[in-house]
Amino acid sequence: MICDVYCRGCGESFHSTNDKFDRELDPDGEHMTADMFVLKEPYVSYGWSDFPKDSWYTGNSLCCPSCETPYPDSEGRVKTVVKSVTCKVCWKEYVHPGSLKRHVEKEHS
Protein backbone atom coordinates (compact mmCIF):
# COMPACT_ATOMS: atom_id res chain seq x y z
CA MET A 1 0.00 0.00 0.00
CA ILE A 2 1.37 3.39 -0.94
CA CYS A 3 1.48 5.74 2.04
CA ASP A 4 3.39 8.84 2.90
CA VAL A 5 5.55 8.28 5.97
CA TYR A 6 5.65 11.14 8.43
CA CYS A 7 8.54 11.68 10.84
CA ARG A 8 7.45 11.91 14.48
CA GLY A 9 10.34 14.27 15.16
CA CYS A 10 10.18 16.99 12.55
CA GLY A 11 6.78 16.20 11.00
CA GLU A 12 8.19 16.09 7.49
CA SER A 13 7.64 13.32 4.99
CA PHE A 14 10.72 12.09 3.17
CA HIS A 15 9.71 8.51 2.47
CA SER A 16 6.71 6.76 1.08
CA THR A 17 5.94 3.08 1.37
CA ASN A 18 5.54 0.59 -1.44
CA ASP A 19 3.06 -2.25 -1.75
CA LYS A 20 5.14 -4.48 0.51
CA PHE A 21 3.94 -2.35 3.40
CA ASP A 22 0.60 -3.38 4.86
CA ARG A 23 -0.87 -0.61 6.93
CA GLU A 24 -3.68 -2.82 8.22
CA LEU A 25 -1.15 -5.07 9.90
CA ASP A 26 0.65 -2.13 11.49
CA PRO A 27 3.88 -4.08 11.34
CA ASP A 28 6.02 -3.71 14.41
CA GLY A 29 9.69 -2.82 14.19
CA GLU A 30 10.69 -6.44 13.75
CA HIS A 31 8.71 -6.89 10.58
CA MET A 32 9.26 -3.49 9.11
CA THR A 33 12.11 -3.61 6.67
CA ALA A 34 13.93 -1.02 4.61
CA ASP A 35 12.61 -2.45 1.37
CA MET A 36 9.09 -1.24 2.31
CA PHE A 37 10.28 2.37 2.21
CA VAL A 38 11.11 4.53 -0.78
CA LEU A 39 12.82 7.90 -0.62
CA LYS A 40 10.63 10.51 -2.27
CA GLU A 41 11.40 13.20 -4.76
CA PRO A 42 12.86 15.78 -4.66
CA TYR A 43 15.17 14.18 -2.09
CA VAL A 44 16.34 11.49 -4.51
CA SER A 45 17.37 14.26 -6.92
CA TYR A 46 19.12 16.07 -4.06
CA GLY A 47 21.32 12.98 -3.82
CA TRP A 48 20.06 11.87 -0.39
CA SER A 49 20.68 8.22 0.20
CA ASP A 50 17.79 5.84 0.69
CA PHE A 51 17.85 3.12 3.34
CA PRO A 52 20.18 0.22 2.58
CA LYS A 53 17.97 -2.51 1.17
CA ASP A 54 19.34 -5.16 3.49
CA SER A 55 16.97 -7.38 5.36
CA TRP A 56 18.65 -6.66 8.70
CA TYR A 57 17.90 -2.97 8.32
CA THR A 58 14.69 -2.80 10.35
CA GLY A 59 12.81 -1.06 13.16
CA ASN A 60 14.70 1.76 14.84
CA SER A 61 17.40 1.71 12.15
CA LEU A 62 14.74 3.32 9.97
CA CYS A 63 15.40 6.94 10.89
CA CYS A 64 14.35 10.25 9.43
CA PRO A 65 17.11 11.37 7.02
CA SER A 66 16.74 14.93 8.30
CA CYS A 67 16.47 14.77 12.11
CA GLU A 68 17.37 11.10 12.68
CA THR A 69 14.29 10.31 14.77
CA PRO A 70 13.43 6.61 14.30
CA TYR A 71 10.24 6.25 12.29
CA PRO A 72 8.62 3.66 14.60
CA ASP A 73 7.27 4.94 17.92
CA SER A 74 7.74 3.02 21.20
CA GLU A 75 5.07 0.58 20.06
CA GLY A 76 6.70 0.07 16.69
CA ARG A 77 4.09 2.02 14.78
CA VAL A 78 5.00 4.30 11.94
CA LYS A 79 2.94 7.36 11.15
CA THR A 80 1.61 6.87 7.65
CA VAL A 81 -1.04 8.55 5.57
CA VAL A 82 -2.55 6.60 2.70
CA LYS A 83 -1.76 8.13 -0.63
CA SER A 84 -4.24 7.44 -3.36
CA VAL A 85 -3.35 6.87 -6.98
CA THR A 86 -5.47 8.50 -9.66
CA CYS A 87 -6.61 7.13 -12.99
CA LYS A 88 -5.19 9.45 -15.63
CA VAL A 89 -8.24 8.88 -17.83
CA CYS A 90 -11.30 9.32 -15.59
CA TRP A 91 -9.66 10.64 -12.39
CA LYS A 92 -11.08 7.95 -10.14
CA GLU A 93 -8.95 7.43 -7.05
CA TYR A 94 -7.64 4.12 -5.82
CA VAL A 95 -5.73 3.23 -2.68
CA HIS A 96 -4.04 0.16 -4.16
CA PRO A 97 -1.98 0.53 -7.34
CA GLY A 98 -3.16 -3.01 -8.21
CA SER A 99 -6.82 -1.89 -8.16
CA LEU A 100 -6.01 1.02 -10.43
CA LYS A 101 -4.24 -1.31 -12.83
CA ARG A 102 -7.27 -3.63 -12.92
CA HIS A 103 -9.58 -0.66 -13.40
CA VAL A 104 -7.55 0.64 -16.34
CA GLU A 105 -7.42 -2.81 -17.94
CA LYS A 106 -11.16 -3.25 -17.53
CA GLU A 107 -12.49 0.21 -18.32
CA HIS A 108 -9.98 1.80 -20.65
CA SER A 109 -8.60 -0.88 -22.87
DSSP element (H, E) containing 38: strand 37-39
* Interface segment toward Zn ion; rule CB under 5 A; list 23-31, 33-41, 54-62, 79-87: 79-87
| In the complex, minimum distance from the CB of residue 99 to Zn ion, in angstroms, rounded to a whole number | 11
Q: Hey, which residues between 17 and 76 contact Zn ion (CB under 5 A)?
A: 64, 66-67, 69
Count, residues near Zn ion per rule CB under 5 A: 11
Q: Which is nearer to Zn ion, 10 or 81 (CB)?
A: 10
> Would you count residue 82 as binding Zn ion (CB under 5 A)?
no
Nearest distance in Å: CB 74, Zn ion? 16
Nearer Cβ to Zn ion (24/46): 46
Please state the three-class secondary structure of the chain as a single string. CCEEEECCCCCCCCEEECCCCCHHHCCCCCCCEHHHEEECCCCCCCCCCCCCCCCCCEHHHCECCCCCCECCCCCCCCEEEECCEECCCCCCEECCHHHHHHHHHHHCC
Interface contacts to Zn ion, rule CB under 5 A: 7, 9-10, 64, 66-67, 69, 87, 89-90, 92
